[in-house]
Amino acid sequence: MKNISIITHAALLLILFAVNYDAQNKILIPDTLSGVNFNLTIQKGTTNFYSGFQTNTLGINGNLLGPTLILRKGDHVQMNVNNTLTDTTTIHWHGLHVAPENDGGPHTVIPPGTTWRPQFTVMDNASTYWYHPHLHKKTAEHVTKGIAGFIIVRDNQEAVLKLPRHYGVDDLPIVVQSRAFDVNKQFITRSELDSVILVNGTKNPYLDVPAQVVRFRLLNGSTERTYNFGFAGNKSFYQISGDGGLLNSPILLSRLRLSPGERAGILVDFSSMKGQNIYLMSYASELQNGIIGARFIGMGFGLPDYNNNKLNGADFNILRINITETTSNAITTIPTSLVSNSTINIASVNTTRILNFTSSGGMMDVAGPFLINGTSFSMNKINYLIPLNNVEIWELRNFTTIAHPFHIHDVQFYILDRNSSQVPLNERGKKDVVLVEPMETVRFITKFEDFANANVPYMYHCHLLTHEDDGMMGQFIVTQTTDVESEKNLLPSKFSLDQNYPNPFNPYTTIKYELIEKGFVTLKVFDLIGREIKTLLNEIKDPGEYNILFDGSDLTSGTYFYVLSVNNNRITKKMLLLK
Ligand code: C2O
Ligand code: CU
Ligand code: CU
């Protein structure tokens, strides 16, 4: 990127914020691809962020980031994703309701030199979605290096509204990503010193907009940082869409918090500002502590550089906006209403799931790894089996001092409440990411429709990519309840039985098992010739981890078997009593 204009000192004097910077580079607006056939080539590249330095980057059909895919609801689309890297990766369509084999999660890898060809019908409402890699333990690295792009879905409901939709003119994609660079100006994947803001991959960017109502499609594409968007001078704006569609009506705001993965469509009226400029900012000084980007994170244990990052807790500029000539056919008014979201009736709920977030290092630990219900992600373990068409409440309980943006694949949801109180107006539309604040409980409601596949799971996880890579993730399979065969195959993953400890033992040993779902549990001990020696358990149990103490004091030395059965599916292990 070249220096195109130099901001004047007079303009800088008007900006009295903690972090000054010069907006010198015209913002990159990604090219668009539309139609029903999309060719995406993941490739290596370089980008010139600092004069005299080439930063190694990754991109799709280019050096950095990828094209904006314009999809029409109802279209059947074919994606051809060609991986020219020497690394395996995946591409996930974040927010889109597609079958799990087309979703691009960590199981659907694209090995080097191959092309992945998913097809799907676009079922989601008009809004802003995005795509990014999702390889287990590599997501942060691949996204940081530059693989990510926008998806804009258009539909007939949105098309009849008087909204700006001239891409690149009055309808503008804005992805904000903070980055850390090393001395050679290469990206550092994990660093609390991510003090360089890139907007659409542009450092120190400016954007020309016409003097009229303009739509920004804001995406927080950062690894960890939350932004508290607002305009200099507290100029107000209207939020019109959330993650998965339009809101019922535009919501007047002066601040808009977006955590990693979240999107928002906003309308800003620049009609009376021709010839002026204004900054899009993050008012991070107002962020609640515990949210990455705020002044303090817990007591800071485990994040030594956090307090040295000048962006944390500061109000800083993100994008300089220059207001230019009004275009013909300009939108000049804000609509009074948009669509009607019909949230899901709570009376139809079949299942409520509770997800407890904890840190492996204890309550005050902010470095993780973080756990969901006491466990870390395993590629081989299905955490939930969800019957097709189930209506569910997920209750997210954050028992840590750091905020986690929770994301689920497959579905959009409606937030029911935050700590039992009402959801802010701008969070009442369809969502696929929700920031769960420290010690907060958030409940959402959703329905698992359309896609069941016994073999490919969907993910749910923290969208702090470092937390995700470190295992703050789980997976679920949506099952057709009538599909007995797949149910049978899947049942073993509903529970697990560990080797007893100690083994050999005398006379006590502990048998540990875990239930992922509620079930009828029996635990029995047999001798070598198959005689039943003891029944340790015979009852219905809730999900959880259990430890059973086994007393062999009345038995003779030898080999015994213990059999755990849940709903008639069994696992057997051997143990040795040595007296
Ligand atoms: Cu945006 Cu599972 O991710
Ligand atoms: Cu996703
Ligand atoms: Cu997290």
Atom of ligand 1 nearest to the CA of 409: 2
By 3-state DSSP, what share of the chain in percent is helix, strand and coil, each rounded to 5? 10, 45, 45
> Taking a C-beta distance cutoff of 8 angstroms, is the pair 48, 55 a contact?
yes
Alpha carbons 464 and 357: distance in angstroms, whole number: 13
CA distance linking residue 133 with residue 104, whole number of Å: 8
Residues 358 and 407 in one domain: yes
Going by pLDDT thresholds of 50, 70 and 90, the confidence category of residue 567 is confident
Q: Which two tokens stand for residue 11?
A: 């303009």
The reply to whether 511 and 471 lie within a common domain is no
* CB neighbour list of residue 570: distance below 8 Å, 6 or more residues apart: 563, 564
Q: Is 261 in the pocket of ligand 1 (CB under 6 A)?
A: yes
Indicate whether 385 belongs to any domain. Answer: yes
Give the N- to C-terminal CA distance of the chain in Å, as an integer: 76
pLDDT digits (tens, 9 = 90+) for 458-511: 999 999 999 999 999 999 999 986 443 333 444 455 788 888 889 899 999 999
Close Cβ partners of 110 (under 8 Å, ≥ 6 residues apart): 42, 81, 83, 88, 89, 90, 91, 116
One domain for residues 475 and 403: yes
* Residue 387, domain member (yes or no): yes
Q: Which domain holds residue 69?
A: 31-156
Q: Ligand 3 centre and the CA of 474: distance in Å?
A: 13
Could you tell me if 105 and 202 lie in one domain?
no
Q: Is residue 8 part of a domain?
A: no
**Residue whose CA lies nearest to ligand 1 atom number 3:** 94
Q: Is residue 459 located within the same domain as residue 558? A: no
Q: Choose one of 420, 455, 483: the last residue of a domain.
A: 483
pLDDT at 565: 83
Tell me, yes or no, whether 4 lies in a domain: no
pTM for the model? 0.82
Co-location of 70 and 113 in the same domain: yes
Q: Which of 451, 483, 515 is at the close of a domain?
A: 483
User: Is 13 a domain residue?
Assistant: no
> Is there a single domain that holds both residue 150 and residue 166?
no
> What's the CA-to-centroid distance between 58 and ligand 1, angstroms?
18
Kindly state whether residue 75 falls inside one of the protein's structural domains: yes
pLDDT of 220 > 60? The answer is yes
> 263 in ligand 1 pocket by Cβ < 6 Å?
no
* CA–CA separation, 56 and 294 (whole Å): 30
In a shared domain, residues 230 and 296: yes
Number of compact structural domains in the chain: 4
Q: Is 520 a domain residue?
A: yes
How far is ligand 2, taken at its centre, from the CA of residue 303, in Å?
A: 26
C-alpha 383 – ligand 2 centre gap (Å): 17
Beta partners for residue 519, in sequence order = 541
Residue 231 lies in a domain: yes
Burial readout 352-383 (b: 16 or more C-beta within 10 A, e: otherwise): ebebebbbeeeeebbbbbbbbbeebbeeeebb
Atom of ligand 1 nearest to the CA of 433: 1
94 lines ligand 1 (CB under 6 A): yes
- Tell whether 478 and 504 lie within a shared domain: no
Residues 302-359: tens digit of each pLDDT? 788 999 999 999 999 999 999 999 999 999 999 999 999 988 999 999 999 999 999 9
142 lines ligand 1 (CB under 6 A): no
pLDDT score of 541 more than 60:
yes
Q: CA-to-CA distance for 121 and 495, rounded, in angstroms?
A: 35
Q: Going by CA atoms, what residue is nearest to atom 1 of ligand 1?
A: 94
